[in-house]
Amino acid sequence: MKSLADGLPPDIAGQIHPDWRKNEAAYWVVRDQLLAQYAGQWIGFADGKVVASGTRPVAVLHAARQAAPHPYMICVGREDEPYRMRRANFAYDTSYPGEALPAIRAEFRSESGVPGLVFDRVIPDTGADTSALPWEDCQELQLDPADGVPSLMSGLAGGSATMLGFLVWVHLDGSEYECQLHADFMGNERILGRDVLNSLNVLFRGPSAEVVINP
């Protein structure tokens, strides 16, 4: 079976850690045996066994990376379903063409508790399953493709492409939140998805054109 990693740009695919590829291949050997217990759940799979499981992929990714350095992560029985990025344009950047666009500043950290990089024009997108940054931003964060987790992503137009996920943290309003960040090799938007937003209270004040975190 062709590896999911081979859908990445060739120079990136060549940097995917061989242990991740080994865990991917091993998962497919026992996949049918896992269906009875884990169908519909996200799992982290490494060294021939499930090292983490649950319903929230961001939580499973962080738990799996604590258990093994290069786990294969997948939703059992729904392997071909991509993460979805619904990039809807709505308030609050009034200079944005058409409807104004909500945008915030957020600090992304490659290591928990260690200051990272603050990016502006980050779109809090409740329609996005997961967060994403352009590959150039990921390089600034010094994220190593060898630590990445390949996965499928689709957008509003349909179809899917392979992206690379990373375990990072987002610091907002004085608190740190687990994030499942995907590197976008084709787009240039910064997206804060539900992997982080579901841990926050977010108030969108359209008439006053502002986003309030934990009001």
How do residues 88-130 score in pLDDT, each as one tens digit? 333 345 565 666 678 888 999 999 999 999 999 999 998 899 9
The secondary structure of 158-191 as a DSSP string is ---EEEEEEEEEEEETTEEEEEEEEEESS---EE
State residue 213's pLDDT score. Answer: 84
Please give the Cα distance from 132 to 111 (Å, whole number). Answer: 17
Please give the Cα distance from 40 to 167 (Å, whole number). Answer: 22
State residue 98's pLDDT score. Answer: 62
Residue 210: other Cβ atoms inside 10 A:
13
Prediction pTM value: 0.75
State residue 60's pLDDT score. Answer: 94
State residue 161's pLDDT score. Answer: 84
Question: Which residues lie below 8 Å from residue 123, measured CB to CB, with a gap of 6+?
Answer: 87, 101, 102, 103, 189, 190, 191, 192
Least reliable range by pLDDT among 16-30, 49-63, 92-106, 195-209: 92-106
Of the candidates 22, 75, 29, the one whose C-alpha atom is nearest the C-alpha of residue 52 is 75
Dump pLDDT digits (tens) for 171-186.
Answer: 998 899 999 999 998 8
| Radius of gyration over every alpha carbon of the chain, rounded to an integer in angstroms | 17
Dump pLDDT digits (tens) for 35-80.
Answer: 999 999 999 999 999 999 999 999 999 999 999 999 999 999 999 8
Domains detected in the chain: 7-80 (no CATH), 84-213 (2.40.70.10)
Please give the Cα distance from 15 to 36 (Å, whole number). Answer: 34
State residue 90's pLDDT score. Answer: 32
Q: Which residue has the higher pLDDT, 101 or 14?
A: 14
Binned at pLDDT 50, 70 and 90, residue 158 comes out as low
